[in-house]
Amino acid sequence: MHKKRPKHLALHLIKLPLPGIVSILHRISGLMLFCALPLLLLALQYSLRSIETYTRLIEILGHPFVKIMSLGLLWAFLHHFCAGLRYLAVDLHWVSDLAQVRSSSRAVMIISLALTVFAGAQLW
């Protein structure tokens, strides 16, 4: 049983299925939300402290780079929410066979991106 196995996997050549991509993006979006939590709490504090800090916060949030970062956080929240609902459905055995798993993964990607575009267009 001496099989010749590769010593180094070429990770860029491995084709990951869509449910695997959704899983990785779920983890990345959760990390993004966790890392942004102090900034979001700081923004909440500035919005509630006084009218001067509120107007300064509005100026900062109007910057194009901050808008793009906010759009990324919006996507992270919406994707994490939709994927979390998908995982809840899988855990409750509402989604059981492979076709349903793949279609629910596709739905998570489409719905989260569509909601991000819709909400981002409203907020921009």
Cα maximum dimension of the chain: 74
Segment 47-97, tens digit of pLDDT: 999 999 999 999 999 999 999 999 999 999 999 999 999 999 999 999 989
Give domain 19-123's CATH architecture: Up-down Bundle (1.20)
Instruction: Determine if the pTM surpasses 0.75.
Output: yes
For the chain, the straight-line distance linking the first and the last C-alpha, in angstroms and rounded, comes to: 61
The ranges assigned to domains in the chain are 19-123
What pLDDT sits at residue 6? 65
**Half-sphere exposure at residue 61, Cβ-oriented, CA atoms within 13 angstroms:** 17
